[in-house]
Chains A and B, each alone.
Chain A
Amino acid sequence: MEALFQIGIFALLLGLGFIFGRRAEAKHYKSIFAREDALRGVIVSTDRFPPVEFMNHHSGLVSGNVVISVDYFKVVSAGLRGIVGGRIRSYETLLDRARREALLRMQEQAHAAGAEAIINTKIETSRISGNGNKGIASVEVLAYGTALIPQPAKTG
């Protein structure tokens, strides 16, 4: 009886994780695609030095970071994958979303500052673990770079 109860809770969590995780993921991707299109004008580059035409731009630090939680379904799925090995697909989409969201937030910040491009972009990922190895872990992705902001046209 107790075992049945435990299996029931497990299945419920799994189902909730799957339904809500899937919905959140679909919604997030939709938003990512839309915003990527909207911010395509803010060029993101990993070059360390600005091209010639940006030489007279101001520069400033811009960053964007995001924390995304794993859902129960992904944890169980990854746990099963951990036994046999191979690509953990359930985590791949998670990290892909986090990375793109962080870049978008960085672009949004740059856009707000009036920047035309961002150079020297770096991405860092760190794990925010829930008490040791237990609990549901989440992941933080930080993207940062140097925004190139055009100088206001000199008057007179």
Chain B
Amino acid sequence: MSFAKQNPKIPEGINTSSENPLKEFTILLGGILFVICAIAALLLIFSHQLAPHIPFRYEQALVNKFSELTSDNNSTEQTMIDAELALQELGQQLADKSALAPDIELHFHLLDEPDVPNAFATLGGHIFVTTGLLREVPSENALAMVLAHEIAHIKFRHPAQSISGGLLVQIFLSIVTGQNAVALQGTVQQAGIMTVLGFSRKMETAADRAALSTLEQHYGHLAGAEVFFEKILAKHQQASWQAIFASHPDMQKRIEQIKNRTSSRPKLKTSPIDPRLRNF
């Protein structure tokens, strides 16, 4: 046994490749981006069908941070606390009649905005009512109509549906990029949990219909239900109504629909509103 005179010259390109790394990079990046975009596009297209199947607790988890925030904000004045409690009691009674899925939890919040009569439902089963709305409603039935309407939105998972295109894509991208849930929460908040979500005309009609059924079950009649929508229409010109109108199109048509249902029944007495809700 003996050695060669010197180390052999090993040919290049066995363990490595001389190909420009940019070529591989471009192909990989292009291909992967294409697949991601294709999946994101599919999620967007089918988001309305997929949204109701997203477990409700995912929705809750996303807005959890946010709900802590609001409860802190509102527990300053005693009248506000009492009113919120009264709102919750009425809301819970209506929710019991709304045939909600068992995993859905509702949270009612009162916003101290006396000049903006508004109510909206958002992700995680949160329903917001402004003090301005409490000023406007003449009877409990009218307020119940609004609440039942928003409850119906949550029952049909409309908030998830209207945000789900973006949300599903966000969830998908966060899985791909390995971003954590905290960053995701930030983007969802940016997407506008606090804002009025854009519900389609179809969603509004479905919510109206369900709300009327709920009201009928709760009070046994529909008297007073149309008042709120009539009031909205009367003040159409005012700027403060713009927000609610953006999400509640075809107000006139809807009032007619509600009136059609109410007029076929004998007029009945409306219930008086809870005194705790009268302090605004």
Chain A residues near B31: list those with CB within 8 A. 84
| A51 touching B3, Cβ below 8 Å | yes
Chain A residues near B22: list those with CB within 8 A. 18
| B21 touching A51, Cβ below 8 Å | no
In the bound complex, CA of A89 to CA of B7 (Å): 26
Per-residue B-contact encoding for A59-95, CB less than 8 Å = 1, 0 else: 0000000000000011011001101100101101100
| B16 touching A53, Cβ below 8 Å | no
Residue of B nearest to A133 (CB): B178
Residue of A nearest to B31 (CB): A84
**Residues of chain A from 105 to 143 with CB closer than 8 A to chain B in the complex:** 117
In the bound complex, CA of A37 to CA of B8 (Å): 10
B contacts with A: majority SS: loop
Residue of B nearest to A29 (CB): B12
Chain A residues near B28: list those with CB within 8 A. 77, 80-81, 84
| B25 touching A73, Cβ below 8 Å | yes
Asked whether any CB of chain B lies closer than 8 Å to the CB of A52, the reply is yes
Per-residue B-contact encoding for A36-68, CB less than 8 Å = 1, 0 else: 110111111101000111100000000000000
Given contacts A83-B32, A92-B15, A92-B16, is CB(A77)–CB(B3) below 8 Å?
no
| A96 touching B1, Cβ below 8 Å | no
Which of B9, B22, B28, B32 has most chain A Cβ within 10 Å? B28
Given contacts A84-B28, A84-B32, is CB(A92)–CB(B3) below 8 Å?
no
Chain A residues near B2: list those with CB within 8 A. 51-53
Residue of A nearest to B24 (CB): A89
Q: How far is the CB of A37 from chain B (nearest CB, A)?
A: 8
Chain B residues near A74: list those with CB within 8 A. 21
Interchain CB contact (< 8 A) of B1 among A18, A44, A52, A80: A52
Q: How far is the CB of A53 from chain B (nearest CB, A)?
A: 6
Chain A residues near B7: list those with CB within 8 A. 36, 39-40, 42-44
| A117 touching B3, Cβ below 8 Å | yes
Q: How far is the CB of A111 from chain B (nearest CB, A)?
A: 12
In the bound complex, CA of A116 to CA of B119 (Å): 89
In the bound complex, CA of A83 to CA of B25 (Å): 13
Asked whether any CB of chain A lies closer than 8 Å to the CB of B243, the reply is no
Q: How far is the CB of B166 from chain A (nearest CB, A)?
A: 14
Residue of B nearest to A25 (CB): B21
| B3 touching A41, Cβ below 8 Å | no
In the bound complex, CA of A109 to CA of B172 (Å): 54
Q: How far is the CB of B228 from chain A (nearest CB, A)?
A: 40
Q: How far is the CB of B161 from chain A (nearest CB, A)?
A: 25
**Residues of chain B from 1 to 33 with CB closer than 8 A to chain A in the complex:** 1-4, 6-7, 9, 15-17, 19, 21-22, 24-25, 28-29, 31-32
Chain A residues near B29: list those with CB within 8 A. 80
| A51 touching B16, Cβ below 8 Å | no
| B15 touching A77, Cβ below 8 Å | no
| A96 touching B3, Cβ below 8 Å | no
Question: Interface on A for B, CB 8 Å cutoff?
Answer: 18, 22, 36-37, 39-45, 47, 51-54, 73-74, 76-77, 80-81, 83-84, 87, 89-90, 92-93, 96, 117
Pairs across A and B, CB under 8 Å, 8 listed: A18-B21, A40-B9, A73-B21, A77-B21, A80-B29, A83-B32, A84-B31, A89-B16
